[in-house]
Structure 1
Amino acid sequence: MEGLIVDGPRRVATHDDLAGVARAALGAGHRLTGVSRLRGGSKKGVYRLIFDDDSTAIVYIWDDAEDYWSAARIDEDDAEDHANPFSHASGIDLFVAAHTRLETLGIRTPRIHSADRSRSHYPADIAVVEDVPGATLEALLQQDPDGAQVPLSRLADALGAMQRHQGPGFGKVALIDDGGISQGHSCERIVLDRALDDLAEAASRDTRIESGRDRLEDMVRGLAAAVRPRSEYGLIHGELGPDHVLVDRYGHPVLIDIEGLMFFDVEWEHAFLRLRFGEHYRWLRRSGLDEQRLAFYTLATHLSLVAGPLRLLDGDFPDRDAMMGIAEHNLQQALAFLPGPAGPPRAILGR
């Protein structure tokens, strides 16, 4: 599209680019007066549309030029391989399938005004959704922890409903709904393979992981071997931090960045929840979790959050200090799984 602006390697949509999108989604009665790009998204472009009646909406754009991971993916063929539960969780098909499933369960997520794959108004798949008034749960926890108690309690209820909702197999909702079957023998085997790949990549980028690689691999394999087989899979978000939960004006949690929604071991969700919510995880804790599976998935999560951020920093991701901080924190947490001192002396992260 001729009017698109490129911000360095990034594409930035303008008012003129999105005027047709807004008109098709909301009608000619809403005149677009402003467009602002929102920070935070790493896999898709996210923009706020502002109209002459002071109403607003949000636009999601799935375009490689808006995806900071596009240059960091090791295997381009893996991006669209939905049979891999951990393939790149981005795309309008994943979004629509996840939204439909959550809506069926009564789980709040921004309602869809339009989902357009035609590319007649914009040269990428695009969706216009509700702009939920209110802050993220992350901001609320920082500014008013007491005021966050009701949304946290309601989020726990929503997660309980999701995790009780069993799938016929494990994998991304879009795949399962289409009658597909995921790759891999079991959730734990998929996580093991992924953890070993993440360990190898992290070791190639940081001397502390490299020095402890053999012991970490033994720890990963030992924790995996202690996990008993299972054939029940609950619905999980996959990356549910407090930044992926909005809080509406009525105190209801609203899930966003839902493309990774899948049926999987619920311990995978809880390993991430415990890491991201910290002391507030007590509101979300669930009884009956498999502690051995949870320990294994926790170490695997830490390794993923070392390798992934360092890989992302190979590209032009703007908030580099924050991403480096994520890698550093999780590196320390991974090394803490080893017996004795928490690894060799501090080294500089990255290449």
Structure 2
Amino acid sequence: MERRFVEREQMAALVRAAFGAARRPVDVVRLTGGSKKGVYRLTLDDGGSVILYVWGADENYWPEGGDDVADPFADASGADLFEASRARFDALGVRTPRLYLMDRSGSHHPADVALVEDVRGGTLEALLARDPQGAEATLQTLGAALRAMARHRSPHLGKVALVANGTAPQDRRPEQVVLDRALRHLASAAERAERLRPSRSRIEDLVRERAAAVRPREEYGLIHGELGPDHILVDGRGRPVLIDIEGAMFFDVEWEHAFTGMRFGSAYAPLRQPGLDPARLDLYRLAHSLALIEGPLRIADGDFPGREFMLGIADWHIEQVLAAAGAR
């Protein structure tokens, strides 16, 4: 499909609505990496800048998934999810970019849009690569935020917006949701990745074995849902700023930590949560790897500009899954 992205002239009225007639955009640059919403930097005529989020079909590179909206892992995109997650994080004192204007009227752009703070300190991922010691205070603050989120409990699982309005009913526990999802991912990934096919039965047995070892629980903590160091910016005071927050949900906190531990590697220690269930971590690490094979391979079938990057992610996780199943 031919995608139509935002142009500078389209944003003049939106900037005026947010900041008054004294400020106007002089440049608009679409930032790389976004696959579900458009992320743009708007440079203003006074030298300042803001970030524009656009939730629209032209900005979403993911194929239609057909997920049930009540599924915690259904498509995590949309202004309603963003607004609810941001409000919940703000209430807990967890830093996200400041919101200047949300417009869902269609009067400024055909899609829902938001203007938010441009946090110019770069990502935590870049800081860790450049100055690991300098990142220690940021990691400590992030660890405290994760522990506060884990203490914020709900008896219902699902995305923040849907739990709040009562439209996220679930008759499955988190480990059952993850088991079903992991088996779907394995089936889909095996169709695309020839290296997985000979070991598919062995991998499926391992997923079921790890799920069977998990004991039920009745309450769930607040998690970001995909908290890697690339989804955390660093502000001018060294504080972590969470972005891509639409997927925030109430779920097993082990789901977050299985992913975060994998993504942060040797820098994970300050983020560790006490009392995590080892059986859940074992299941969720395997499920994350299956998701990070299936998802990247699926998006690589389309016109996403970072196709080779996605294929590299899939290849790495194929190796992890095969090793876990003793099939490498």
TM superposition score normalised by structure 1 = 0.91
Q: Are the counterparts in 1 of residues 36 and 55 from structure 2 also a CA contact under 8 Å?
A: yes
Q: Are the counterparts in 2 of residues 306 and 326 from structure 1 also a CA contact under 8 Å?
A: yes
| Match status 1:300 vs 2:291 | no
Structure 1 residue aligned with 2:268, among 260, 278, 281?
281
Structure 2 residue aligned with 1:156, among 143, 153, 157?
143
Q: Which residue of 1 aligns with 2:27?
A: 34
Alpha-carbon offset, residue 184 of structure 1: 3.7
Structure 1: gaps (5+ residues): 1-7, 343-351
| Match status 1:124 vs 2:117 | no
1:1-351 equivalences under 5 Å are 9-69=2-62, 72-75=63-66, 78=67, 81-339=68-326, 341-342=327-328
Please list the CA deviations of residues 12-54 of structure 1 after superposition, one character each: whole Å capped at 9, or x if unmatched.
Answer: 1111111112111222121221111111111000111111111
Amino acid at match of 2:229: P
Equivalents in 2 of 1:302, 1:11: separation in Å? 33
Alpha-carbon offset, residue 93 of structure 1: 0.1
Equivalents in 2 of 1:159, 1:55: separation in Å? 31
Q: Are the counterparts in 2 of residues 49 and 57 from structure 1 also a CA contact under 8 Å?
A: yes
Please list the CA deviations of residues 273-302 of structure 1 after superposition, one character each: whole Å capped at 9, or x if unmatched.
Answer: 011111111121122100001100100000
Please list the CA deviations of residues 79-118 of structure 1 after superposition, one character each: whole Å capped at 9, or x if unmatched.
Answer: xx43110000000000000000000001000011111110
Q: Which stretch has the larger CA shift, 261-270 or 22-31? A: 22-31
Amino acid at match of 1:110: P
Secondary structure of 2:268's counterpart equals helix
Q: Are the counterparts in 2 of residues 184 and 190 from structure 1 also a CA contact under 8 Å?
A: no
Secondary structure of 2:274's counterpart equals coil
CA RMSD of aligned residues (A): 1.1
Please list the CA deviations of residues 117-148 of structure 1 after superposition, one character each: whole Å capped at 9, or x if unmatched.
Answer: 10001000111111112110011011111111
Q: Are the counterparts in 2 of residues 271 and 294 from structure 1 also a CA contact under 8 Å?
A: yes
Amino acid at match of 2:90: E
Equivalents in 2 of 1:24, 1:211: separation in Å? 58
Q: Which stretch has the larger CA shift, 219-228 or 204-213? A: 204-213
Please list the CA deviations of residues 291-339 of structure 1 after superposition, one character each: whole Å capped at 9, or x if unmatched.
Answer: 0011001000000000000000111111122111100111111111113
Amino acid at match of 1:152: L
4+ residue runs over 6 A deviation? none
Secondary structure of 2:154's counterpart equals coil
Q: Are the counterparts in 1 of residues 39 and 52 from structure 2 also a CA contact under 8 Å?
A: yes
Q: Are the counterparts in 2 of residues 44 and 63 from structure 1 also a CA contact under 8 Å?
A: yes
Please list the CA deviations of residues 135-169 of structure 1 after superposition, one character each: whole Å capped at 9, or x if unmatched.
Answer: 10011011111111110111000001001110131
TM superposition score normalised by structure 2 = 0.98
Q: Quote the sequence identity (%).
A: 56
Alpha-carbon offset, residue 73 of structure 1: 2.6
Amino acid at match of 1:145: P
Q: Are the counterparts in 2 of residues 9 and 316 from structure 1 also a CA contact under 8 Å?
A: no
Equivalents in 2 of 1:167, 1:183: separation in Å? 13
Equivalents in 2 of 1:221, 1:23: separation in Å? 55
1:333–1:184 distance in 2 versus 1, CA, 3 Å = farther
Q: Are the counterparts in 2 of residues 82 and 172 from structure 1 also a CA contact under 8 Å?
A: no
Secondary structure of 2:94's counterpart equals coil
Amino acid at match of 1:60: Y
Amino acid at match of 2:48: S
Q: Are the counterparts in 1 of residues 65 and 75 from structure 2 also a CA contact under 8 Å?
A: no
